[in-house]
Amino acid sequence: MIVRLNTDLAAGILGLAFAAILWLPREELGRLSIIFPRAMIIITVLLALTLVIKAFVKPAERQVEIEGSPLRLIIAIAVLFAWWYAIGILGFLLATAIAFFGFTWFLARIETPVSARRLAMWVPIMALLIGVFYLAFTEILSVRLPTGSLWS
C-alpha cells in the first residue's frame, strides 16, 4: 500500500502521543528516580514539536510504501503497549515472558502454522533472552525492575 504522507507531521504527532502516554503517572517514584525518564520525555516532546513546526513551515510530503499487512502492524503496536502496561501489573519477568512468547508465535504463524514442538523449542531461547535482559538491567545497570502490583 502506498500512502502520500507528510512524514514530519506524522512523526511529530506520534512522538507527542507517545510522550503523553509515558507522562501519565503509573506509580510513585523517588525524585531522583524520575529525573532521567522525565528528561527523556521532555526531549521527545521538544523533538516532536520541532517536527510538527517543520511540517507546516517546510512541508515534505513523501510517498510511503507500507509492506505487509497494516492490521499486523497495528496488532504489533498494540501488543507492545499492552506489554508495557502489563509490566506494572504482572512484573517484568512474567509480562515479558508472555509478551515474547505471544509475539514470537504471532510473527511465526504468518509464514506457516506453528506446531507444539516448534513452540517448545522456543521456550529455552526466550528464557535465555529474558534472563540476559534481566541480568543486564539488575546486575550490570543496577536498575530495579517492577515486580508488579499483582504480587504486592
Query: Could you read off the pLDDT of 101-138 as tens digits, one per residue?
Result: 888 888 888 878 888 888 888 889 999 999 998 998 88
Residues 74 and 145 in one domain: yes
Same domain as 50, residue 81: no
pLDDT beyond 80 at 151: no
Residues 86 and 129 in one domain: yes
Mean pLDDT over 51-69 rounds to 82
**Which residue spans within the chain are E strands per DSSP?**
2-6, 61-65
C-alpha cell at 14: 506520534
Check: CB of residue 93 under 8 Å from CB of residue 135. no
**Are residues 76 and 136 located together in one domain of the fold?**
yes
Rg, C-alpha atoms of the chain:
19
Answer yes or no: do 56 and 86 share one domain: no
For the chain, the domain total comes to 2
pTM of the full structure: 0.60
Tell me, yes or no, whether 85 and 27 share the same domain.
Answer: no
Of residues 30 and 147, the one with the higher pLDDT is: 147
Domain shared by 113 and 61, yes or no = no
- My answer on whether 49 and 11 are in the same domain is yes
